[in-house]
Amino acid sequence: MEPFKQFTGIVMSLDQVNVDTDQIIPKQFLKLLERTGFGQYLFHDWRFHPNGSPKADFPLNQPRYKGAKILLARANFGCGSSREHAAWALKDYGFRVLIAPSYADIFYSNCFKNGLLPITLNDVTVSQLFEEIAQQEGYSLNVNLENQRIRKPNDEKLHFEIDLFRKQCLLEGLDDISLTLWHEEKIRSHEQRLHPFQLVDVSR
Concatenated DSSP letters for 145-191?
TTTTEEE-TTS-EEE----HHHHHHHHHT--HHHHHHHTHHHHHHHH
Residue 76 falls inside a structural domain? yes
> What is the total count of domains within the chain?
1
- The enclosing domain of 157 has a CATH number of 3.20.19.10
Residue 181 falls inside a structural domain? no
- What is residue 1's predicted lDDT score, i.e. its pLDDT? 84
Residue 11 falls inside a structural domain? yes
Residue 39 falls inside a structural domain? yes
Residue 193 falls inside a structural domain? no
Domain of 125?
6-174
Phi/psi of residue 54, each to 5°? -70, 145
DSSP 8-state assignment for residue 199: -
Provide the 3-class DSSP secondary structure of residue 117. strand
pLDDT confidence tier of residue 2, bands split at 50, 70 and 90: confident
What predicted TM-score, i.e. pTM, was given to this entire model? 0.86
Residue 190 falls inside a structural domain? no
Residue 198 falls inside a structural domain? no
Kindly report, residue by residue over 106-157, the tens digit of the pLDDT: 999 999 999 999 999 999 999 999 999 999 999 999 999 999 999 999 999 9
- What is residue 196's predicted lDDT score, i.e. its pLDDT? 55
Paired with 21 in beta bridges are none
